Amino acid sequence: MARRVVTGWKLDLADRARLLDLIPALFPDIVADHVTLRSGTDGDTPLPRETTGEIVGVVDDGLGI
């Protein structure tokens, strides 16, 4: 069975800090080290070519993690 993985971008520390300044964390144990593009991919899924992004919204269902 093929291993299922997540495709996206790993954030460097400066980008992570900027994002956390824009969108403060709601919970004390913060990871926030990546942006997921697609989940459930496999090793043959091509990596994204984009190197910039734009925050278009924030969603929180209020139910926690």
Is residue 10 included in any domain, yes or no?
yes
pLDDT tens profile 14-45 = 999 999 999 988 888 999 999 999 999 988 89
Q: Are 8 and 34 in contact (CB under 8 A)?
A: yes
Amino acid in the structure at residue 39 = S
Evaluate whether residue 45 is within a structural domain. Answer: no
User: Does 22 reside within a domain?
Assistant: yes
* Domain-embedded: residue 52: no
- For residue 10, the enclosing domain spans 5-33
Among 25, 41, 44, residue whose Cα is nearest residue 33: 25
Instruction: Identify each DSSP E strand in 1-65 by its residue range.
Output: 5-10, 34-41
Eight-class DSSP state of 47: P
pTM over 0.75: no
Structure token digits, residue 42 = 């496999």
Mean pLDDT lowest among 6-15, 29-38, 55-64: 55-64
- Which of 29, 32, 26 lies closest to 10 in space, CA to CA? 32
Q: Is 13 part of a structural domain of the chain?
A: yes
What's the domain count of the chain? 1
